[in-house]
């Protein structure tokens, strides 16, 4: 007998519970349109549930971190809202571990749906930190849902994220759970909700057998059509709650016999909001409104981080660092998240959009040869020919650096030309670097000085100094 299932995916919402500006590509220049928000998502999901008998609503991670209220409450502002929206399953992303294992476990216990991940364990044991899977029963058929969190939290994120935990790619664990669900529990469909990133999920689908659908997350891809690999269908649905992915599938005798996919941009003018959720959002934000309304300065050009090599949002950060620290070059992490900030008055609320972690600055003395190697390592994490070695976000952001590289070259041979402050990099010269958080310099603990200032303080001072800030989008890193 044939059955119909509608899957609704949200991934990488990063705490953006309100309607906000979103970046959309345009022929002549980017377009910024108001979009997203939990009230808009809830209204759409509830409408679909009234229209369709079998609906699976999934959150693919990076739910609890990314905005001022989310960070200041350690994710607690999200709990009441997500419970009211009634997702069927949640898989944590790398940023959901930002408050430590104990707090994430507390958040997961408060969420009224299963939190699953097959590839995170309690350290020095095989005991799972979360349940590896859940089974969702529908009218006439069952769906087995397995979770995969980001496998490199302990390698690429601060140590506090992974203390007490261990992570893996989950290939062996995943295959075991698929066989259990298929052969013992007799589910009709296997769905993997993954926060590994799109390239990793595509490779995963070619290695692990028995997956029908992968709901991918982490890399913020706006897929307008599914990727089909070795019989597995893969979708991903943007970020920041600005998009939903919808996949309508027909199932007959344990096989998908038909599918229709939509990537849905949640434009504010096209999609109504759920009034109950909207009121809950307003109530949850009240304790933070006064503090986040603190005025910082005036912005004259839009900020975004939608581009791979350089982005104006990160150029603001690295320019601010160099304005107050006497260094040769400044760096900021290659983040993917943070919705656009449009010209006008800038408040502390937007500061958290620009750099929500508010890390402490450091100075580092490093030889040119080691700096070059660090930059090659960063490019490998972004462009590795092996998707399982792609561990970065975008290319490391910088000021005072000009670099040309070939992304398809082998590891260690991508950078074709590099200059620091207008002069070719000298392998033997010692350079002064300023940055914040570990970034790619996690292993460089010697010759490092921790500064008694945080990123927000430096950026505030930069706005105070400049009065009005405009970021020239001239590129200093080129992919050739």
Express each pLDDT in 249-258 by its tens digit.
Answer: 999 988 999 9
pLDDT single digits (tens) 362-407 = 999 999 999 999 999 999 999 999 999 999 789 999 999 999 999 9
pLDDT at 445 over 90: no
pLDDT single digits (tens) 273-314 = 999 999 999 999 999 999 999 999 999 999 999 999 999 999
pLDDT at 479 over 80: no
pLDDT of residue 428: 97
pLDDT of residue 474: 67
In sequence order, which residues have a C-beta less than 8 Å from that of residue 103 and are 6 or more positions away? 74, 75
pLDDT single digits (tens) 47-57 = 999 999 999 99
| Domains of the chain, earliest start first | 2-283 (3.60.21.10), 295-479 (3.90.780.10)
Roughly what angle, to the nearest 10 degrees, separates helices 312-324 and 455-466? 90
pLDDT single digits (tens) 117-139 = 999 999 888 889 999 999 999 98
Residue 136: other Cβ atoms inside 10 A: 19
pLDDT at 444 over 90: no
Of 111, 112, 147, give the one whose Cα is nearest residue 130: 147
pLDDT of residue 291: 97
* pLDDT above 90 as % of the chain: 89
pLDDT single digits (tens) 73-88 = 999 999 999 999 999 9
pLDDT at 441 over 80: no
pLDDT at 321 over 70: yes
pLDDT category of residue 142 using cuts at 50, 70 and 90: very high
pLDDT of residue 440: 66
pLDDT at 456 over 80: yes
Q: CA 94, CA 287: separation in Å to the nearest integer?
A: 27
Confidence (pTM): 0.96
pLDDT at 1 over 80: no
pLDDT single digits (tens) 221-240 = 999 999 999 999 999 999 99
Residue 391: other Cβ atoms inside 10 A: 18
Average pLDDT value over all residues in the chain: 95
pLDDT at 477 over 80: no
pLDDT of residue 200: 97
Weakest-pLDDT range from 54-63, 253-262, 405-414, 431-440: 431-440
pLDDT of residue 480: 65
> What does the block give as tokens for 313?
């949002």
Q: What separation in angstroms does the CA of 402 have from each of 160, 420, 421, 479? A: 33, 7, 8, 11
Q: CA 254, CA 242: separation in Å to the nearest integer?
A: 33
> What does the block give as tokens for 190?
């296997």
* pLDDT above 70 as % of the chain: 98
pLDDT at 334 over 90: no
pLDDT of residue 475: 62
pLDDT at 149 over 70: yes
pLDDT at 439 over 70: no
């Amino acid at each position: 007998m044939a059955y119909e299932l509608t899957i609704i995916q949200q991934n990488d919402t990063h705490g953006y519970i309100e309607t906000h500006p979103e970046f959309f590509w345009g022929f002549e220049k980017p377009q910024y349109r108001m979009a997203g928000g939990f009230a808009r998502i809830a209204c759409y999901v509830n409408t679909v549930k009234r229209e369709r008998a079998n609906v699976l609503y999934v959150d693919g991670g990076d739910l609890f971190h990314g905005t001022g209220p989310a960070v200041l409450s350690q994710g607690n502002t999200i709990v009441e809202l997500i419970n009211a929206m009634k997702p069927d399953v949640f898989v944590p992303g790398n940023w959901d571990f930002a408050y430590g294992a104990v707090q994430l476990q507390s958040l997961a216990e408060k969420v009224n749906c299963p939190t699953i991940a097959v590839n995170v364990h309690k350290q020095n044991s095989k005991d799972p930190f979360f349940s590896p899977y859940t089974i969702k029963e529908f009218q006439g058929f069952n769906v087995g849902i397995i979770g995969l969190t980001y496998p490199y939290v302990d390698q690429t994120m601060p140590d506090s994220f992974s203390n007490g935990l261990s992570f893996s790619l989950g290939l062996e664990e995943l295959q075991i759970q698929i066989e259990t669900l298929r052969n013992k529990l007799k589910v009709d469909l296997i769905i993997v909700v993954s926060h590994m990133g799109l390239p990793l999920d595509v490779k995963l689908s070619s290695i692990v057998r028995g997956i029908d659908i992968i709901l991918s997350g982490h890399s913020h891809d706006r897929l307008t059509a599914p990727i089909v690999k070795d019989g597995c269908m893969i979708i991903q649905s943007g970020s920041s709650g600005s998009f939903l992915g919808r996949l309508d599938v027909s199932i007959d005798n344990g096989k998908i016999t038909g599918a229709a996919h939509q990537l849905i941009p949640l434009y504010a003018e096209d999609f109504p909001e759920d009034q109950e959720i909207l009121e809950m959002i307003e109530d949850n934000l009240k304790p933070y409104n006064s503090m986040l309304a603190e005025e910082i300065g005036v912005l004259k050009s839009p900020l975004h981080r939608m581009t791979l090599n350089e982005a104006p949002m990160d150029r603001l950060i690295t320019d601010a660092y160099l304005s107050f620290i006497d260094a040769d070059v400044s760096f900021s992490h290659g983040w993917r998240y943070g919705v656009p900030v449009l010209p006008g008055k800038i408040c502390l609320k937007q500061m958290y959009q620009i750099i929500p972690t508010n890390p402490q600055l450091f100075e580092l003395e490093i030889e040119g040869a080691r700096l070059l190697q660090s930059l090659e390592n960063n490019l490998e994490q972004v462009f590795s020919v092996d998707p399982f070695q792609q561990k970065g976000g975008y290319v490391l952001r910088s000021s005072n650096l000009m670099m040309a590289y070939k992304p398809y070259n082998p590891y260690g041979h991508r950078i074709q030309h590099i200059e620091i402050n207008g002069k070719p990099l000298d392998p033997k010269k010692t350079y002064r670097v300023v940055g914040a958080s570990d970034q790619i310099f996690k292993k460089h603990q010697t010759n490092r000085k921790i500064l008694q200032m945080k990123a927000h303080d430096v950026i505030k001072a930069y706005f105070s100094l400049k009065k009005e800030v405009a970021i020239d989008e001239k590129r200093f890193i080129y992919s050739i």
